Structure 1
Amino acid sequence: MLPAQADRATGSEAPAPASTENPVVVELYTSQGCSSCPPADELLSRLAAKDGVIALALHVDYWDYIGWADKFARPAHTKRQKAYAHANGSRTIYTPQMVINGTEQVVGARPMEVVDLLEHHAAQANSVRLQARRVGDMIELKAPSPSPALGELVVQLVRYLPSATVTIKKGENAGKTLDYANIVTSWDVVGKWDGQSVLDVSLPAPGSDPAVVIVQRPGPGPIVGAARVP
């Protein structure tokens, strides 16, 4: 369980400005080996440039067998997508799939449906107002005591690569050169929060890759708060 308070990071570097967003989190489950995915990848790139949206690409590994191994794919991403399917009472997973704020699941190549869901969630305030800022190799994370109390929540730290271009040489997308945005490189559960006390912790985040902190109900369930840190 994360403590309500923790020691501050120290160092000579000036802290980066705190993020106090109320964003909508979009997870795209995609693969370089899936011929249906490039339009969804392009849509995610556009969403990544929008204010009020945290767009994250989670490349899965279950398309690798058809001739092209996605170098960004991770078994943990497939596991997370399966967990969403299980929580939703489904036995199947697919690409491209977008999950909006941990609750809505939609085909990632349907921009009108995605935009409608984004507008719906943007109109609803997050239950947890996170404030996050970088201090050296640490992220200082704060949140006020929720009212009403939310119960146990999962605190996650996500790191991502902002962009990459890949030439696909085999598989369904052979011969294409594709651009990708906000490619998740790690998604770690850093602790549990009781969802009723003040949250005030410091999280290790070495390296230059940008980060996102996501607070979510177990399950995985609804995302109740998120903040990005450059």
Structure 2
Amino acid sequence: MTRLASVGRLFLTGALAIMCAASATLAGSPNEKTSVVELFSSQGCSRCPPAHRILQQLSRRPGIVVLSFPVNYWDYLGWKDTLARPEYGERQRDYAALLTRGEVFTPLAVVNGMRNCVGSNLGEIDAAIKSTSATLASQSVSLSVRQEDGNLFVEVGESATPSRHRSGKLWIATVLRSRSEKIGAGDNAGQMVAYTNVVRRLTDAGDWLGAPTSYSLPVDALSKDGDMLVVFLQTGKLGPILAATLVDMGFNGN
């Protein structure tokens, strides 16, 4: 069964976040429409391995970027999630406050920072991608990325004329494109879980106030623990994602 919890105790929110119109020097093409799927899962949840298989399927589709955020709120059931980080639970809690009236469950996916879905239900995820991408089609923001002299340079454009979104934040997720973990106890004891784009570091690159903005970050600070980046522009604290791109930096991740 899908596990349920109240935000006050156990928090998990899977997220599918749609990010539109990403153009990049290192990845993507100009005005590419990109849907981003954030999946929040736990190694102690019996329904999460199927959700990871769906995430892997989605990652093979053109125009879709996936992110996997492992959380630790089910650790008390007898198995400590080997990849979970507390800050991912906080991100999930914030999504839950906006999208699920404070209730969270695993596996949960958030689409485009706008819609929550059961992470193991591909049909529900596809419907959310379609509806949210249509909503954001006229609100996309340009995004370009390049690497030079040991730094990552990101250029974000101005807010679209018809858009009501005038502020947000640039995020950079350092991910491992693939990772397998064997579960030693609990509901998934003995299973091997295959992760796709599992987030190992989430960096706040700075604020965006609706005007063209440049960002510069040292590559060394971003390259630890991962072999790829997902760069995305998200409105508010956790709202619609207006731009995103996937960047293969050739990192030597651990």
TM-score by length of 2: 0.78
Q: Which residue of 1 aligns with 2:53?
A: 42
- Asked if 1:103 is matched to 2:97, the reply is no
8 A contact 2:99–2:116 mirrored in 1: no
Say yes or no: does 1:211 pair with 2:229: yes
- Residue number among 34, 39, 63 corresponding to 1:28 in the alignment: 39
2:28 matches 1:19: yes
2:124 pairs with 88, 95, 113, which one? 113
Distance in 1 of aligned mates of 2:26 and 2:219: 16
Tell me which of 218, 225, 228 is aligned to 2:243.
Answer: 225
8 Å contact kept, 2:168–2:235? yes
User: Could you say what secondary structure the match of 1:22 adopts?
Assistant: strand
| Coordinate RMSD, CA, aligned | 2.0
* Displacement over 4 Å in runs of 4+: none
Following superposition, the deviation at residue 136 of structure 1 comes to 5.3
Q: Distance in 1 between matches of 2:53 and 2:150?
A: 32
Question: Equivalent residue of 1:72, what SS?
Answer: coil
Contact 2:37 2:110 in 1 (8 A): yes
RCO higher in structure (CA 8 A, sep ≥6) = 1
Equivalent residue for 1:9? none
Unaligned 5+ residue runs, structure 2? 1-23, 249-254
**SS, match of residue 94 in structure 1:** strand
2:133 matches 1:133:
no
Q: What are the ranges of 5 or more consecutive residues in structure 1 without an aligned counterpart? A: 1-14
Q: Percent identity?
A: 34
| Higher strand fraction (1 or 2) | 2
**What's the CA shift for 1:72?**
0.8
Query: Is contact 1:35–1:172 with CA below 8 Å preserved after alignment?
Result: yes
Deviation track 1:109-150 (CA, whole Å, cap 9, x = no partner) reads 111111122233444535212112333542221133223273
Letter in 1 for 2:130: E
Q: Write out aligned runs for 1:1-230 (5 A).
A: 17-20=26-29, 21-88=32-99, 90-123=101-134, 124-125=136-137, 126-135=139-148, 137-148=150-161, 150-195=165-210, 197-206=211-220, 207=223, 209-230=227-248
Secondary structure at 1:45's aligned position in 2?
Answer: helix
Structure-2 separation of matches of 1:122 and 1:81: 21
The one-letter code sitting in structure 2 at the alignment partner of 1:127 is: S
Report if the CA contact (8 A) 1:87-1:219 is conserved: no
What residue is the counterpart of 2:21 in the other structure?
none
How many residues in Structure 1 have an aligned counterpart in Structure 2? 215
